[in-house]
Amino acid sequence: MPAIKTAILSFGMSGRVFHAPFIALNPGFELVGIWERSLSASLEFYPTIKIYRSLEEILADESIQLVIVNTPTNTHYDFTKKVLLSGKHAVVEKAFTTSVAEAIELNEIAIEKKLKLSVFQNRRWDSDFKTVKKIIAEGWIGNVVEAEIHFDRFKETLSPKLHKEIAGPGAGVLYDLGPHLIDQALTLFGMPDAVYAELRTMRPFSVVDDYFELLLSYSDKVVRLKAGYQVKEPIPSYVIHGNKGSFLKSRADIQETALVANQKPNSANWGKEPDEEEGLLNTEKDGVEIRKKIPTELGNYATYYALVEKAIRENTEMPVKGNDGINVMKIIEAAFLSSANKKQISLN
């Protein structure tokens, strides 16, 4: 069966680390080329590919079937719309768009043209999150009543990626790290009834939000999502409490670190966390108290692209659907509104 001919729209960290390695190693895809405006850095890694110098050049290439839109967030709507209107499938980096309206329009275009559209939420295949998901699904802690998910860092300096630090659509930590946490929460628990949020600017010289805390309200639980850049000693990134027990887990997936170091994602023990990062389960079963470390699931971002290939070939659902991206944008918009007005925002 012919490989799905694919193009990537940039070769910064996202293209080099999270997309190109998995497309290049999956025989179901052919990495035809990458859009680089002036450099040809990708040829060092993929010497046989084509360098495109414009989006129009990619859109005009009738051989290209799938386009990875991994440019700055404020370009996602415009570029993805052009990709879809040219008759090509699209994978869009998070954040999907800068507004709910944009996300809905892109999803409608894909449906109308019978094209596949997905938001790249690779953190669903982090080792830590897969372990948390398994513990909940297997009922080890009973019905979840409270959950807290963090994405904490310690970094006072501003990012060299200026599109993240200049005030405007798609900038700030809620658009950067927020989609990861929100998507994980929605994957585990579905859409909440309401959102309360506090966004702040903490770092010197920052002009965008670099701290957030979101409280997602459900009829039977509360879920807190938090990210900031001034956390020197992080606490467990996943704190899940149920009516039978609790599970605590660090954020310790090794894949990004390995990929940044140019390790190929097909090496032995790919996605295996250090044993010392195992999560702690404290619960009871059949009247017996249990307090033990839980082996961590293997992380594997390759699963995402394997499911993308299946969706395109067999007309199945994408691993992260357009509607998933729309729901994340609904939470983000509600969070900005809540923080500005200092009140809870209903989603019903």
Q: What is the pLDDT along the chain (348 residues), one digit of tens a residue?
A: 899 999 999 999 999 999 999 999 999 999 999 999 999 999 999 999 999 999 999 999 999 999 999 999 999 999 999 999 999 999 999 999 999 999 999 999 999 999 999 999 999 999 999 999 999 999 999 999 999 999 998 887 877 776 678 888 999 999 999 999 999 999 999 999 999 999 999 888 888 999 999 999 999 999 999 999 989 998 999 999 999 999 999 999 999 999 999 999 998 899 999 999 999 999 999 889 999 999 999 999 999 999 999 999 999 999 999 999 999 999 999 999 999 999 999 998
pTM of the full structure: 0.96
* Domain spanning 4-122+304-319: CATH superfamily: NAD(P)-binding Rossmann-like Domain (3.40.50.720)
Euclidean distance between CA atoms 274 and 271, whole angstroms: 10
Rounded to 5 degrees, φ, ψ at 197 are -140, 150
CATH class (in words) of the domain with range 124-299+331-346? alpha beta
The domain limits of the chain are: 4-122+304-319, 124-299+331-346
What is the sign of the dihedral through the CA atoms of 65, 29, 316 and 127? negative
What is the rounded CA–CA span in Å between residue 293 and residue 280? 5
Strands 246-249 and 4-8: unpaired
CA distance 78 to 317: 24
